[in-house]
């Protein structure tokens, strides 16, 4: 840099001819060495900048900028492709899954890696889509099961109706062919016809009862009452049948009232069906006992018998409608096979459960557990609002031991009065 006081001289020259170097900027600096006015000394420095050098420098800079821009463009394309793939791949898989579901493959789900590695919104969409597909599959499977159950139900009903109708037709033909002239034969056929009509009536009542239970039309008349009355009434109704069959029927009730909120006619129906089942499979000289116990959470009704028991492989079918076990040939009367299905539905509506322990040749023990207040028990278990009507459902519950096949007795269940909706409190079902 020049020192203060120094002079700067610059001159411009015209461009050189083609192919010649040119100094388009020349700078001359004078640096005084001696200030003697007689012999001044100074150092003159001239700096020049060739045009070709500057041109080459600018060209190099231009090339560098072009290469940098091209590299930046390629990098931007790669980054854009990566991000685009990150977004489009989950959407493509979601589309593929949607197409599969639409074509009927309800088991297809969006892969878990999409739900984990996708963008926040897409990952949440994938999780919600899988949850929706899961609920859809469960609903369709439930509809299919209901359809199959309805088809089997109609087939069983047709079979059950065919037997007494055929018997009635046969008795009628025999009476027309000549039995009407024989008083003894006529009385026998009339008695048999009455039994078949009673069976038809009992079957129709059970079918109507199950239909109402399934559709949710049965509303429980829950009221705080002593459970001993319902149990004792059911036992009294079964005593004549027990005496006629030579079976000892005993009941054990606690001294103090067992007050729980329940529907007395419905729980009486439960005890009646259990007693009918026990008396049917208990041979003459055997015994059936009923015991009511107060528990901390409610009450238990235990029905024991010394009957034929069942085989362990019949366990899964214990509450199936129209199911009859292998020991049905040893039972007194065929029954409708609907008694325990009604028991399970009514107990479910009370928020309780049914457990059965049985061994072949060693009888069976049915235990019905009901809560003190079905509404409070259901609220604490499900968090559902009280008073909401829900249809009964679910499969039969049982102990890990073997269980007992069902067949109802000919004794009609106790019937409750008609109730208005303002009087009832329906409860949700325990699963």
Taking residue 270's Cβ as centre, other Cβ atoms within 10 Å add up to: 31
Confidence of residue 383 (pLDDT cuts 50, 70, 90): very low
Q: What is the pLDDT of residues 132-152, one digit of tens each?
A: 999 999 999 988 887 887 777
* pLDDT on residue 254: 94
* pLDDT on residue 47: 59
Determine the average pLDDT of the residues in 301-317. Answer: 85
> Please, what is the average pLDDT of the chain?
74
Q: For the domain 109-215, what is the CATH code?
A: 1.10.287.130
Q: What is the pLDDT of residues 21-45, one digit of tens each?
A: 444 445 555 555 556 666 566 565 5
Residue 426 predicted with pLDDT over 60:
no
What distance in Å separates the CA atoms of residue 9 and residue 26, rounded to the nearest whole number?
8
The distance from CA 32 to its chain's CA centroid, rounded to whole angstroms, is 103
What distance in Å separates the CA atoms of residue 374 and residue 366, rounded to the nearest whole number?
20
* pLDDT on residue 231: 95
Q: What is the pLDDT of residues 186-225, one digit of tens each?
A: 788 788 888 788 778 877 877 777 777 776 667 888 999 9
* pLDDT on residue 374: 84
The pLDDT > 70 percentage for the chain reads 69
What distance in Å separates the CA atoms of residue 142 and residue 139, rounded to the nearest whole number?
5
Q: For the domain 220-423, what is the CATH code?
A: 3.30.565.10
Instruction: Go through 328-366 and write b for each residue having 16 or more CB atoms within 10 A of its CB, e for each that does not.
Output: beebbeebbbbbbbbbbbbbbbbbbbbbbbbeeeebbbb
């Amino acid at each position: 840099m020049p020192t203060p006081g120094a002079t700067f001289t610059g001159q411009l020259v015209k461009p050189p001819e083609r192919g010649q170097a040119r100094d388009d900027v020349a700078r001359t600096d004078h640096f005084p060495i001696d200030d003697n006015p007689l012999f001044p000394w100074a150092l003159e420095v001239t700096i020049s900048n060739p045009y070709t050098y500057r041109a080459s420098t600018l060209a190099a800079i231009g090339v560098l900028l072009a290469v940098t821009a091209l590299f930046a463009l390629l990098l931007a394309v790669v980054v854009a492709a990566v991000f685009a793939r990150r977004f489009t791949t989950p959407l493509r898989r979601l589309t593929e899954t949607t197409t599969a579901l639409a074509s009927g493959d309800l088991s297809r789900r969006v892969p878990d890696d999409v739900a984990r590695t996708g963008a926040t919104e897409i990952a949440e969409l994938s999780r919600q889509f899988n949850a929706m597909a899961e609920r859809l599959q469960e609903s369709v499977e439930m509809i299919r099961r209901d359809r199959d159950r309805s088809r089997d139900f109609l087939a069983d009903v047709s079979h059950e109706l065919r037997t007494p109708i055929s018997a009635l037709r046969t008795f009628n033909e025999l009476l027309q062919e000549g039995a009407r002239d024989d008083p003894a034969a006529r009385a026998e056929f009339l008695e048999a016809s009455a039994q078949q009509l009673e069976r038809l009536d009992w079957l129709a009542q059970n079918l109507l009862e199950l239909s109402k239970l399934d559709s949710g039309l049965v509303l429980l008349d829950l009221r705080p009452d002593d459970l001993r009355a319902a149990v004792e009434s059911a036992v009294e109704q079964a005593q004549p049948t027990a005496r006629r069959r030579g079976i000892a029927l005993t009941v054990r009730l606690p001294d103090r009232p067992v007050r729980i909120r329940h529907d007395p006619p419905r729980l009486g129906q439960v005890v009646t069906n259990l007693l009918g089942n026990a008396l049917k499979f208990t041979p003459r000289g055997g015994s059936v006992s009923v015991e009511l116990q107060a528990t901390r959470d409610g009450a238990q009704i235990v029905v024991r018998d010394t009957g034929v028991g069942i085989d362990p492989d019949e366990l899964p079918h214990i509450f199936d409608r129209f199911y009859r076990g292998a020991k049905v040939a040893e039972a007194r009367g065929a029954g409708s096979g609907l008694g325990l299905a009604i028991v399970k539905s009514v107990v479910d509506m009370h928020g309780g459960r049914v457990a059965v322990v049985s061994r072949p040749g060693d009888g069976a023990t049915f235990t019905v557990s009901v809560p003190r207040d079905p509404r409070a028990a259901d609220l604490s278990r499900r968090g559902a609002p009280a008073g909401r009507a829900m249809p009964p459902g679910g499969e039969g519950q049982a102990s890990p031991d073997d269980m007992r096949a069902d067949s109802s007795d000919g004794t009609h269940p106790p019937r409750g009065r008609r109730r208005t909706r303002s009087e009832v409190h329906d409860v949700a079902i325990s699963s």
